[in-house]
Amino acid sequence: MTERLPVAITQGDPSGIGPEIVLKCFLAHPELSHEAVVFGHLGVFERVLRWVDPEGQLQLEALSWDGVRLQGLAHLGEGAGVSASTSTSTTTSSNGVAGGAAAYGANIKAQVIKLQDTTLISKYRADYENVVINMDDLVNNLMLQTTLTIDQSKPEVGLEKLAKLNQAKAALNSVMKFIDKT
């Protein structure tokens, strides 16, 4: 008889109901924790676990920063060919710089996912938009104040400050576009 491989389950949207459903499933059917590996952000699952399982029946164990598993799967990692940790090789060998591009890209993507799990834009979009709008208003007022107080004997100093503030406005515009498209 061949050994069954575990089922891989992803958390879905970290601000959605996926983590809650996964944890409630394992609470209702603890025997399934030996047959599945859950991939997601450990911090998200720990937060949800505090209110889904206040008695502490489930124990989470991190396999990597972006993966978690429910305790009881240690035997599956040996001999079953199953690994939840990601390998990031930077070997370029005969392929030159391009040989490490895939690993480099994977590392960048991992950082993006970590930041997305932290900022939860879909959940806090309106709050973030308000921050950017308020910051834009602040920059506008600073630009007006700078314009009205430019030292006429050294106008280049004031103009440089205005240019920097204008760059800040462009950056805020980029941030707002990013928030709106995410």
Q: Are residues 169 and 113 in the same domain?
A: no
What value does the mean pLDDT take over residues 22-47? 80
Instruction: Specify whether the CB–CB gap between 172 and 135 falls below 8 A.
Output: yes
Retrieve residue 174's tokens.
């980029």
What value does the mean pLDDT take over residues 57-86? 44
Q: Are residues 147 and 167 in the same domain?
A: yes
The predicted-structure confidence for 83-129, as pLDDT tens digits, reads as follows: 232 233 333 344 555 556 777 777 788 788 888 888 888 889 999 99
Query: For residue 100, what are the domain limits?
Result: 87-119
> Could you please report the per-residue DSSP string of 47-96?
HHHHHH-TT----EEEEETTEEEESS-GGGGTTS----SPP-----GGGG
What is residue 2's predicted lDDT score, i.e. its pLDDT? Answer: 66
The strand pair at 60-64 and 67-70 is best described as: antiparallel
Q: For 2, which DSSP code? A: P
The contacts of residue 33 (CB under 8 Å, 6+ apart) are: 26, 58, 70, 71, 72, 73
Q: Are residues 142 and 113 in the same domain?
A: no
Model-wide pTM > 0.85: no
What value does the mean pLDDT take over residues 62-90? 37
Q: Are residues 97 and 142 in the same domain?
A: no
Number of separate domains in the chain: 3
Is there a domain that residue 1 lies in? no
